[in-house]
Chains A and B, each alone.
Chain A
Amino acid sequence: MWVALGPVGDMPCLLTLQMECEAERRPLGVFECQLCALTAPYSYVGQQPPGAQSVALLEESYVMRDPFTPNKDRFLILGSRCSVCGRLVCVGPVGKPRAAGAAFPLSPWLGPHDCSFFYSKRFCLPCVRENIDAFPQEIQQDLEKREVPSKRPASQPGSRT
Chain B
Amino acid sequence: MPPPRTWEGRGPRDRPPAPSQEEDPEKWDWNCPETRRLFEDAFFGDEDYIRQGSEECQKFWTFFERLQRFQNLKTTRKEEKDSRHPKHSIPALADLPRAYDPRYRINLSVLGPDARRSRGLGRRLAPERVSEFRQALLHYLDFGQKQAFGRLAKLQRERMALPIAQYGDRILQTLKEHQVVVVAGDTGCGKSTQVPQYLLAAGFSHVACTQPRRIACISLAKRVGFESLSQYGSQVGYQIRFESTRSAATKIVFLTVGLLLRQIQREPRLPQYQVLIVDEVHERHLHNDFLLGILRRLLPQRPDLKVILMSATINISLFSSYFGSAPVVQVPGRLFPITVVYQPQEAEPTTSKSEKLDPRPFLRVLEAIDNKYPPEERGDLLVFLSGMAEISAVLEAAQTYASHTQRWAVLPLHSALSVADQDKVFDVAPPGVRKCILSTNIAETSVTIDGIRFVVDSGKVKEMSYDPQAKLQRLQEFWISQASAEQRKGRAGRTGPGVCFRLYAESDYDAFAPYPVPEIRRVALDALVLQMKGMSVGDPRTFPFIEPPPPTSLETAICYLRDQGALDSSEALTPIGSLLAQLPVDVVIGKMLILGSMFHLAEPVLTIAAALSVQSPFTRGAQSNPECVAARRPLESDQGDPFTLFNVFNTWVQVKSERSRNSRRWCRHRGIEEHRLYEMANLRRQFKELLEDHGLLARAQASKPGDSYSRLRQRRERQALYQLKRQHEQGQGRRRKVLRLQEDQDGCSSDEDRGGAASQGGGDNVDIQDVKFKLRHNLEQLQAAASSAQALTRDQMALLKLVLGRGLYPQLAIPDPFNSGRKDSDQIFHTKTKQGAVLHPTCIFANSPEVLHTQEQEARGSDGSRDDKDKMSSRHQLLAFVSLLETNKPYLVNCVRIPALQSLLLFSRSLDTNGDCCRLVADGWLELQLVDSESAVRLLAASLRLRAHWESALDRQLAHQARWRMEDKDDEETDPVNRKEVAALSRELLQFTASKVSYSLRRLTGLEIQNLYVGPQTITAAPSLPGLFGCSTPSPHPTKGGYAVTDFLTYSCLTSDADLYSDCLRTFWTCPHCDLHMPFTPLERIAHESTCPEAPQDGPPGAEEAAPEPLQKASALQRPYHCEACQKDFLFTPTEVLRHRRQHV
The B322-379 residues at the A interface (CB cut-off 8 A) are: 332-338
Closest chain B residue to A22, Cβ basis? B234
B93-101, B561-569, B895-903: which lies at the A interface?
A: B93-101
Would you call B107 and A92 a contact (CB within 8 A)?
no
Does any Cβ of A come within 8 Å of B219's Cβ?
no
Q: Is the CB of B148 within 8 A of A66?
A: yes
A55 touching B109, Cβ below 8 Å: yes
Q: Which residues on B sit within 8 Å (CB–CB) of A35?
A: none
CB distance from B1126 to the nearest CB of A (A): 58
**B700: interface (CB < 8 Å):** no
Closest 6 CB pairs of A and B: A99-B102, A94-B146, A67-B229, A103-B70, A136-B100, A83-B92
A137 touches B715 (CB 8 A): no
Docked-complex contact A22 and B109, CB < 8 angstroms: no
Contact among B47, B71, B230 for A7, CB-based, below 8 A: B47
**At the interface, yes or no: B247 with Cβ under 8 Å from chain A?**
yes
Question: Is the pair B151, A68 in contact by a Cβ cutoff of 8 Å?
Answer: yes
Known A-B contacts A23-B248, A159-B163; A61 and B490 likewise in contact (beta carbons under 8 Å): no
A159-B102 in contact (CB<8A): no
Most buried by B among A19, A111, A119, A157: A119
Interface range on chain A (Cβ under 8 Å from partner)? 35 or more
Contact B93 A106 (CB under 8 A): no
Nearest-neighbor residue (CB-CB) of B152 within chain A? A40
- In the bound assembly, the distance between CA atoms of A55 and B99 in angstroms comes to 25
Asked whether, in the complex, the Cβ of B107 is within 8 Å of the Cβ of A122, the reply is yes
Interface residues of A in 76-129 (CB under 8 A from B): 76-78, 80, 83-84, 90-92, 94, 97-101, 103-107, 109, 111-113, 117-123
Minimal beta-carbon separation of B915 from chain A (angstroms): 74
Query: Is B486 located at the chain interface by the 8 A CB criterion?
Result: yes
Given contacts A66-B148, A67-B229, contact A136 B47 (CB under 8 A): no
A45 interface contact, C-beta 8 A? no
A52-B161 Cα distance, complex, nearest whole Å: 35
Determine the distance from Cα of A55 to Cα of B112 in the docked complex, in whole angstroms: 10
Minimum CB–CB distance for A89 against chain B, Å: 12
- Given A98-B102, A100-B70, A91:B145 Cβ within 8 A: yes
Choose among B97, B98, B154 the residue that contacts A109 (Cβ–Cβ < 8 A). B154
* Given A56-B111, A160-B338, residue A107 in contact with residue B150 (CB < 8 A): yes
Knowing A15-B722, A22-B234, A58-B107 are in contact, say whether A161-B249 is a contact too (CB < 8 A): no
> Does chain A have a CB within 8 A of B231?
yes
Q: Which residue of B lies closest to A41 (CB)?
A: B229
Which of B83-91, B121-129, B824-832, B1027-1035 sits within the interface? B83-91
What distance in Å separates the Cβ of B379 from its nearest Cβ neighbour in chain A?
16
Question: Contacting chain A: which of B135-143, B866-874, B940-948?
Answer: B135-143
| Contact of B152 with A136 in the complex, beta carbons under 8 Å | no
On chain A, the residues within 8 Å of B69 by CB distance are 103
What are 15 A-B residue pairs whose CB atoms fall within 8 Å in the complex? A11-B722, A23-B234, A55-B49, A57-B107, A58-B107, A76-B148, A84-B93, A100-B70, A103-B66, A104-B143, A106-B147, A112-B160, A119-B97, A136-B96, A160-B337
Q: How far is the CA of A21 from the CA of B104 in the complex (A)?
A: 35
Q: Tell me how far the C-beta of A146 lies from the nearest C-beta in chain B, rounded to whole angstroms.
A: 13
Asked if B108 lies at the interface with its beta carbon under 8 angstroms from chain A, I say yes
In the complex, which residues of chain B have a beta carbon less than 8 angstroms from the beta carbon of A97?
102, 105-106, 139, 142-143, 146
Chain B residues with CB under 8 Å of A139's CB are: 100
CB-contact partner of A94 in B43, B47, B149, B715, under 8 A: B149
Tell me if A7 and B46 are in contact (CB < 8 A): yes
Where chain A touches its partner, the secondary structure class is loop
Q: Does A69 interact with chain B (Cβ within 8 Å)?
A: yes
Does A150 lie at the interface of the complex (its beta carbon under 8 Å from any beta carbon of B)?
no
- Whether the pair B67, A73 counts as a contact (CB closer than 8 A) is no
Closest to B106 in A: A118
Which residues of A have CB within 8 Å of B336? 157, 159-160
Q: Which of A57, A92, A100 contacts B153 (CB 8 A)?
A: A92
Question: Using Cβ atoms and an 8 Å threshold, which residues of chain A touch B90?
Answer: 84, 131, 134
On whether A84 and B92 interact (CB within 8 A), knowing A54-B48, A57-B108, the answer reads yes
Is the C-beta of A147 less than 8 angstroms from some C-beta in chain B? no
Given contacts A23-B247, A138-B100, A157-B497, 16 further A-B contacts (CB under 8 A): A12-B719, A53-B111, A58-B109, A64-B229, A68-B148, A76-B152, A94-B146, A94-B150, A97-B139, A97-B143, A117-B105, A118-B107, A131-B90, A155-B161, A160-B336, A161-B486
Which residues of A (1-26) have their CB < 8 Å from a CB of B? 7, 9, 11-12, 15, 19, 22-23, 25
CA distance A90 to B149 in the complex (A): 9
B157 at the A/B interface (Cβ < 8 Å)? yes
Chain A residues contacting B107 (CB-CB under 8 Å) are 57-59, 61, 77, 80, 91, 118, 122
Question: Which residue of B has the minimal Cβ distance to A121?
Answer: B92
**Distance (whole angstroms) from the CB of A97 to the closest CB of chain B:** 6
Q: Which residue of A lies closest to B154 (CB)?
A: A109
Residues of B within 8 A of A101 (CB): 70
Shortest Cβ distance from A67 into B: residue: B229
Q: Does B761 contact A (CB under 8 A)?
A: no
Residues from chain A with a CB closer than 8 A to the CB of B141 are 55
B93's contact among A40, A70, A99, A131, by CB below 8 Å, is which?
A: A131
Residue contact B110 to A54, C-beta cutoff 8 Å: yes
Q: B247 and A157: CB pair below 8 A?
A: no
Residues on B with beta carbons closer than 8 Å to the beta carbon of A98: 102, 105
> In whole angstroms, what is the CA distance A129 to B1080 when docked?
116
Asked whether, in the complex, the Cβ of A106 is within 8 Å of the Cβ of B146, the reply is yes
